[in-house]
Protein backbone atom coordinates (compact mmCIF):
# COMPACT_ATOMS: atom_id res chain seq x y z
CA UNK A 1 0.00 0.00 0.00
CA UNK A 2 1.35 3.38 -0.97
CA UNK A 3 0.44 7.06 -0.58
CA UNK A 4 -1.33 8.53 -3.59
CA UNK A 5 -2.46 12.06 -4.23
CA UNK A 6 -3.93 14.31 -6.83
CA UNK A 7 -6.70 14.02 -9.38
CA UNK A 8 -4.54 11.70 -11.39
CA UNK A 9 -1.54 14.02 -11.31
CA UNK A 10 -1.29 16.83 -8.78
CA UNK A 11 -0.22 16.34 -5.18
CA UNK A 12 -0.96 18.04 -1.87
CA UNK A 13 1.23 20.32 0.19
CA UNK A 14 4.88 19.61 0.74
CA UNK A 15 4.05 19.05 4.41
CA UNK A 16 1.20 16.67 3.56
CA UNK A 17 3.42 14.74 1.15
CA UNK A 18 6.21 14.51 3.73
CA UNK A 19 3.75 13.33 6.37
CA UNK A 20 2.30 10.77 3.95
CA UNK A 21 5.71 9.30 3.11
CA UNK A 22 6.45 8.70 6.78
CA UNK A 23 2.93 7.79 7.89
CA UNK A 24 1.54 5.58 5.10
CA UNK A 25 3.63 2.47 5.93
CA UNK A 26 2.75 2.76 9.61
CA UNK A 27 -0.97 3.20 8.91
CA UNK A 28 -0.95 0.35 6.36
CA UNK A 29 0.25 -2.03 9.07
CA UNK A 30 -2.62 -0.95 11.34
CA UNK A 31 -5.42 -1.60 8.83
CA UNK A 32 -6.94 -5.05 9.12
CA UNK A 33 -8.82 -6.97 6.42
CA UNK A 34 -12.14 -8.57 7.39
CA UNK A 35 -13.50 -10.83 4.64
CA UNK A 36 -17.21 -11.08 3.83
CA UNK A 37 -18.30 -8.03 5.84
CA UNK A 38 -20.88 -6.50 5.71
CA UNK A 39 -21.95 -8.93 2.98
CA UNK A 40 -20.28 -11.95 1.34
CA UNK A 41 -17.66 -10.98 -1.22
CA UNK A 42 -16.74 -7.62 0.38
CA UNK A 43 -13.31 -7.24 2.00
CA UNK A 44 -13.89 -4.73 4.80
CA UNK A 45 -11.00 -2.55 5.98
CA UNK A 46 -11.06 -2.30 9.78
CA UNK A 47 -9.60 1.02 10.93
CA UNK A 48 -10.11 0.53 14.66
CA UNK A 49 -6.44 -0.39 15.29
CA UNK A 50 -5.50 3.05 13.89
CA UNK A 51 -7.90 4.76 16.30
CA UNK A 52 -6.34 2.73 19.10
CA UNK A 53 -2.85 4.08 18.34
CA UNK A 54 -2.85 7.69 19.63
CA UNK A 55 0.38 8.65 17.86
CA UNK A 56 -0.60 7.31 14.45
CA UNK A 57 -4.14 8.69 14.84
CA UNK A 58 -2.82 12.17 15.71
CA UNK A 59 -0.43 12.13 12.76
CA UNK A 60 -3.23 11.00 10.44
CA UNK A 61 -5.43 13.88 11.62
CA UNK A 62 -2.56 16.29 11.00
CA UNK A 63 -2.13 14.87 7.49
CA UNK A 64 -5.81 15.58 6.77
CA UNK A 65 -5.43 19.08 8.24
CA UNK A 66 -2.42 19.74 5.97
CA UNK A 67 -4.56 18.80 2.96
CA UNK A 68 -7.26 21.20 4.20
CA UNK A 69 -4.73 24.02 4.59
CA UNK A 70 -3.47 23.50 1.03
CA UNK A 71 -7.07 23.60 -0.25
CA UNK A 72 -7.80 26.74 1.82
CA UNK A 73 -10.81 24.92 3.27
CA UNK A 74 -13.40 26.97 5.15
CA UNK A 75 -15.17 23.80 6.38
CA UNK A 76 -14.70 20.05 6.57
CA UNK A 77 -17.48 17.65 5.60
CA UNK A 78 -17.11 14.22 7.17
CA UNK A 79 -19.13 11.27 5.87
CA UNK A 80 -20.87 8.90 8.28
CA UNK A 81 -19.50 7.30 10.23
CA UNK A 82 -15.75 6.82 10.17
CA UNK A 83 -15.44 10.12 8.31
CA UNK A 84 -16.68 11.73 11.54
CA UNK A 85 -13.80 10.22 13.51
CA UNK A 86 -11.27 11.64 11.07
CA UNK A 87 -13.02 14.83 9.97
CA UNK A 88 -14.00 16.37 13.29
CA UNK A 89 -10.45 16.48 14.70
CA UNK A 90 -9.10 17.67 11.34
CA UNK A 91 -11.62 20.54 11.36
CA UNK A 92 -10.56 21.41 14.91
CA UNK A 93 -6.91 21.46 13.83
CA UNK A 94 -7.84 23.77 10.95
CA UNK A 95 -10.05 25.97 13.12
CA UNK A 96 -13.01 25.57 10.73
CA UNK A 97 -16.53 24.15 11.11
CA UNK A 98 -17.16 20.43 10.88
CA UNK A 99 -20.29 19.37 8.97
CA UNK A 100 -21.53 15.79 9.31
CA UNK A 101 -22.99 14.13 6.23
CA UNK A 102 -25.32 11.42 7.52
CA UNK A 103 -27.38 8.53 6.32
CA UNK A 104 -31.00 9.40 5.50
CA UNK A 105 -33.34 9.89 8.45
CA UNK A 106 -30.61 10.74 10.98
CA UNK A 107 -30.74 14.56 10.91
CA UNK A 108 -33.52 16.39 12.79
CA UNK A 109 -34.04 19.50 10.61
CA UNK A 110 -34.50 20.37 6.92
CA UNK A 111 -31.97 18.50 4.77
CA UNK A 112 -30.69 18.03 1.26
CA UNK A 113 -30.49 14.37 0.24
CA UNK A 114 -28.50 12.58 -2.45
CA UNK A 115 -28.82 8.95 -3.58
CA UNK A 116 -25.74 6.97 -4.60
CA UNK A 117 -24.53 3.48 -5.41
CA UNK A 118 -21.78 1.68 -3.55
CA UNK A 119 -19.97 -1.59 -4.11
CA UNK A 120 -22.60 -3.67 -2.32
CA UNK A 121 -25.89 -1.76 -2.72
CA UNK A 122 -27.28 1.77 -2.72
CA UNK A 123 -27.95 4.40 -0.07
CA UNK A 124 -28.93 8.02 0.58
CA UNK A 125 -26.84 10.71 2.26
CA UNK A 126 -28.17 13.88 3.87
CA UNK A 127 -26.83 17.18 5.18
CA UNK A 128 -28.66 19.95 7.02
CA UNK A 129 -29.81 22.51 4.45
CA UNK A 130 -28.27 25.36 6.49
CA UNK A 131 -25.02 23.59 7.39
CA UNK A 132 -22.69 25.35 4.94
CA UNK A 133 -22.05 29.01 4.28
CA UNK A 134 -22.64 30.17 0.71
CA UNK A 135 -19.39 30.04 -1.23
CA UNK A 136 -17.48 28.17 1.50
CA UNK A 137 -14.54 26.09 0.30
CA UNK A 138 -15.15 22.56 1.60
CA UNK A 139 -12.83 19.60 2.11
CA UNK A 140 -14.81 16.37 1.69
CA UNK A 141 -13.26 13.79 3.98
CA UNK A 142 -13.96 10.08 4.37
CA UNK A 143 -12.26 6.92 5.51
CA UNK A 144 -12.30 4.91 2.27
CA UNK A 145 -12.69 5.73 -1.41
CA UNK A 146 -14.08 2.63 -3.10
CA UNK A 147 -16.42 3.10 -6.06
CA UNK A 148 -16.54 6.88 -5.49
CA UNK A 149 -20.32 7.00 -5.05
CA UNK A 150 -20.22 8.23 -1.47
CA UNK A 151 -17.67 10.97 -2.17
CA UNK A 152 -19.54 12.09 -5.30
CA UNK A 153 -22.82 12.24 -3.35
CA UNK A 154 -21.19 14.26 -0.56
CA UNK A 155 -19.71 16.69 -3.10
CA UNK A 156 -23.16 17.06 -4.70
CA UNK A 157 -24.65 17.84 -1.27
CA UNK A 158 -21.98 20.50 -0.71
CA UNK A 159 -22.92 22.13 -4.02
CA UNK A 160 -26.64 21.96 -3.21
CA UNK A 161 -25.85 23.78 0.03
CA UNK A 162 -24.32 26.66 -1.94
CA UNK A 163 -20.72 25.82 -1.08
CA UNK A 164 -17.81 24.63 -3.22
CA UNK A 165 -16.15 21.25 -2.74
CA UNK A 166 -12.44 21.87 -3.33
CA UNK A 167 -10.92 18.46 -2.59
CA UNK A 168 -11.67 14.92 -1.51
CA UNK A 169 -9.32 13.37 1.01
CA UNK A 170 -9.45 9.79 2.27
CA UNK A 171 -7.44 7.55 4.50
CA UNK A 172 -7.59 4.57 2.15
CA UNK A 173 -8.28 4.30 -1.57
CA UNK A 174 -9.25 0.97 -3.10
CA UNK A 175 -7.69 1.90 -6.44
CA UNK A 176 -8.88 -1.20 -8.28
CA UNK A 177 -12.50 0.02 -7.95
CA UNK A 178 -11.83 3.21 -9.93
CA UNK A 179 -13.53 5.61 -7.52
CA UNK A 180 -11.55 8.67 -8.63
CA UNK A 181 -13.44 8.73 -11.92
CA UNK A 182 -16.76 9.21 -10.07
CA UNK A 183 -15.71 12.40 -8.29
CA UNK A 184 -15.10 14.33 -11.51
CA UNK A 185 -12.41 16.98 -11.54
CA UNK A 186 -12.04 17.29 -7.76
CA UNK A 187 -8.51 16.61 -6.53
CA UNK A 188 -8.41 13.33 -4.58
CA UNK A 189 -5.76 12.61 -1.98
CA UNK A 190 -5.39 9.22 -0.31
CA UNK A 191 -2.93 8.42 2.47
CA UNK A 192 -2.85 4.72 1.54
CA UNK A 193 -3.82 3.01 -1.72
CA UNK A 194 -4.57 -0.69 -1.95
Catalytic residues: 82, 119
CA angle 58, 44, 120 (to 5 degrees): 125
Under 8 Å between Cβ of 189 and 67: yes
CA distance 33 to 43: 6
CA 153/CA 44 separation, integer angstroms: 21
Q: H/E/C letters for each residue in 157-193?
A: HHHHCCCEEEEEEEEEECHHHCHHHHHCCCCEEEEEE
Contact 119, 105 (CB under 8 A): no
What is the DSSP secondary structure assignment for residue 94, as one 8-state letter? Answer: H
Of all helices (H) and strands (E), which one includes residue 106?
none
Amino acid sequence: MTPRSGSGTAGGTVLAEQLAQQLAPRVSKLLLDVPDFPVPGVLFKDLTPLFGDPGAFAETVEWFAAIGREAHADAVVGIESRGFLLGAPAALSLGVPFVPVRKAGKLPRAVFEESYDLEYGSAVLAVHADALSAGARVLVLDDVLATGGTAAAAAALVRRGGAQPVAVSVLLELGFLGGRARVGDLPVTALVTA
